[in-house]
Chain A
Amino acid sequence: MDIAVGTSLDRIVIFAYFALVMGFGAYFGKYSKNTTDYFFGGRRFAWWLITISIVATGVGSHSFVKYSTKAYQYGLSSTMTYMNDWFFIPLFMFGWLPIIYYTKVRSIPEYFERRFNRTARYLATMMTLLYMIGYVAIQFLTLATALYRIYNIPLMLTVILIAIATTIYMHFGGQTSVIFTDLFQGFILIFAGLLLFFLGIQYLGDHTALSGLKAFWMNLSPEEKLPLAHFNHPPDFNFVGIFWQDGVAGSVGFLFLNQGLIMRFMAAKSVNEGRKAAAFNVLLVLPISAIVVSNAGWIGRAIFNAVPGALPEGLAANDVFVAVTNIVSSPGVFGFIIAALCAALMSTADTLVNASSAIIVNDIYRPLAKKVKTEKQQLEFARWTSVAVKVIAVTLVPFFNSFDSIYEAHGWFHSTFTPPLVVGVFLGIFWKRFTTPAVIATFLGGAFLMILGQFYPELVSPFSHGIELRPGRGYSYIGALYNIVVCASVGVIVSLFTKPEPNQKLSGLTIFDVNKLKAIFKGSPVNEEKGEDLCVNWVLDNTEMDVIRFSRKNMALMKANPGDLVYIQDSRWWLGGLKSAHSIFGEPHDEDGIAYINPTHLDHGQFVKGLALKAEKEM
């Protein structure tokens, strides 16, 4: 079907959007002074900034098309995957998050080395990189497929142009640029998705005798109003399969293994801010995102039922997003909504590229480099690595383009690379008895059994919950249950037959030590007394010691002692911690309302002369 390719105004809107994001992202380059800043944003941001940037990361360009398709075919149950993430939140917030934050692991593979050994790290590195770079390639392909029809530029050239655009701002800014452009793009995404819903409701109101919302509701069948799919039917969209693939493997994979997400949480100023970001994201933002990515399909279904002939005859479900956007929006608005699709791609791709680059630097370059490299050299290497990751992703695009659909390619990736890592990290955190040979066996033996399951679907049948087997295509979603079971079985059996790790080696790396992590992080006893946050003026002290000195009275109000950890930030809350620094309380002085900072704090925090700082005791 030939559908809208936009007007000149739409093309200008999309081009202007790209230019705006590149300029916005490049501006934040000045906040990346070393690899910690480049990858983790300097552990300084407020929860709300992290929350919105997570939205933009979670909603990929494929999300709009994929969920609209399912929404058009099955109605409200398209939201299932956005609303089944709460079950593992307690373990994430109070288990995994404090472990990664306080042990200062820089990547998921690094955790595997600390918890197990270097071989486990390299295996995890390989799997994670393959997964993430492939994901970037899929994102490029999705957006290029939409854009090349609008601009009439060949598909591969469009892919290259998109890669260059995202490279420009990421190259200089790293994680700080990623967070701030994602903040901006997260708002754009949500606004554009809700705007589309509003326009669709208005369209239905104008073309039926009912009010818009009522027309929308009345023109969905009872089955299409159900929030969960049929238990085990049809094979390509059923509740139980999607529960195991997305609700279990997907949720654990996203929360515990997505290096991009983990880095986002590590950019939070504290663990508690990370918890707030996670809770707010899952409780409020995810349900809104579900509406944002699905509503084109719901509107399309209601239009199809209420206004015969409005949608093209024989409309393919995959085309419903563009078709509905074209019908309900005017020139310019269409361009804006496609720009939101660009926002989805750029924000997901930049996170994954930055995460892949972090893994290459932390898990390949640093361990293998023969000479110790300076921070400047490492930062330069990190920047060029992100370029290399994009080049590899671009070369992979033709491979993914050879799949029947982007979703098939995406599903293949997800089900092939996630389960061994999910089982490895989950048992590693929550089962002390899980051994190093067991994790290696999980990666290798589990992967072998998973491949067997792909070739012999009868192995998956005992787990099928009555889902019909499609000849030649196997089980699509419930295969995740089989994969998890075989990987976990290998891990448990090998653990029981091998020698447990000594407790000393596991210190701080499992949930059983979480209550000791703060002391490990601080390096001395934790001060949990609750004090006040204070506004102070800063004065530059030309010392090299990493301490900030406050007055005796101010320290008493903060209930702080010399040696405790302190966080200072620009007092303008809306900067979300962009201008901030962490340090240690030094010996007190007698000038109330004055904080002495050193040149490193000033350089890192980019504080403005004459503007007060907000200081708080951390622990």
Chain B
Amino acid sequence: MDFAQTWLPFLYLYGVGGIAFVLGMILILRTKALRVSFDRHKKWVFVLLYGFIFYAGIHAFFIYLAIGSQ
């Protein structure tokens, strides 16, 4: 399996998708739509970051398993 089959899609997904995610986070923080000073909002910052890492982790894990099973 070559790079275009394994890590390139992963890097593209979390690179381009990551830019959209980070810009979205910056926008909601700068417009105060998400206020870290509110207790109720603090946990959402954690949830949003966790979601990104969760999906990246699952995808990386399965790519690693697939490469290992060759």
Contacts and interface: CB of A to CB of B under 8 A. Distances in A.
A98 B53 CA distance: 25
A312 interface: no
A89 interface: yes
Contact of B9 (A76, A229, A515): A229
A425 interface: no
Contacts of B48: 89-90, 93
A27 interface: no
A512 B13 contact: no
Interface in B7-58: 8-10, 12-13, 16-18, 20-21, 24-25, 27-28, 31-35, 38-40, 44, 47-48, 50-52, 54-55, 58
Nearest to A516: B32
Contact of A222 (B28, B31, B34, B67): B67
Contacts of B5: 223, 226, 230-231
Contacts of A287: 58
A478 to B, nearest CB: 13
A98 B28 CA distance: 12
Nearest to A247: B17
Nearest to A225: B66
A93 B44 CA distance: 10
Interface residues of B, number: 43
A400 interface: no
Contact of B24 (A91, A279, A528): A91
B54 A283 contact: yes
A514 B31 contact: yes
A228 B34 contact: no
A88 B1 contact: no
B15 to A, nearest CB: 11
B13 A430 contact: no
Contact of B10 (A90, A223, A228, A230): A228
A432 B2 CA distance: 44
Contacts of A243: 9, 12-13, 16-17
Interface residues of chain B: helix, strand, loop or mixed (majority): helix
Interface residues of chain A: helix, strand, loop or mixed (majority): helix
Contact of A279 (B8, B34, B47): B47
Contact of A87 (B24, B27, B32, B59): B24
A478 B69 CA distance: 31
B23 to A, nearest CB: 9
Given A91-B28, A515-B32, A223 B9 contact: no
Contacts of B47: 279, 283
A222 to B, nearest CB: 5
B28 A275 contact: no
A67 B7 CA distance: 23
B1 A223 contact: yes
B4 A232 contact: yes
A333 interface: no
A94 B28 contact: yes
Interface in A204-251: 222-223, 225-233, 239-240, 243, 247-248
B24 A226 contact: no
Interface string A498-528: 0000000000000110110000000000001
Contact of A226 (B18, B58, B66): B66
B12 A90 contact: no
B33 A94 contact: yes
7 cross-chain pairs, A with B, having the tightest CB-CB distances, nearest first: A514-B33, A225-B66, A228-B9, A239-B9, A227-B62, A90-B24, A94-B28
Contacts of A247: 13, 17
A515 to B, nearest CB: 4
B51 A279 contact: yes
B62 A226 contact: yes
B12 to A, nearest CB: 7
A83 interface: yes
A222 B69 contact: yes
Given A83-B59, A515-B33, A90 B4 contact: no
Contacts of B28: 90-91, 94-95, 511, 514
B14 to A, nearest CB: 9
Contacts of B70: 222
A83 B44 contact: no
Contacts of B27: 91, 95, 430, 511
A231 B51 contact: no
8 contacts: A84-B17, A84-B55, A94-B33, A222-B1, A227-B66, A239-B12, A279-B47, A282-B51
B4 to A, nearest CB: 4
B13 A228 contact: yes
Contact of A227 (B33, B39, B59): B59
A279 B51 CA distance: 8
A126 B32 CA distance: 35
Nearest to A517: B33
A90 B5 CA distance: 29
A231 B18 CA distance: 17
Given A88-B24, A243-B12, A227 B63 contact: yes
Contacts of A514: 28, 31-33
Nearest to A510: B31
A272 interface: yes
Contacts of B50: 283
B31 to A, nearest CB: 5
Nearest to A86: B51
A84 B62 contact: no
Contacts of B10: 228
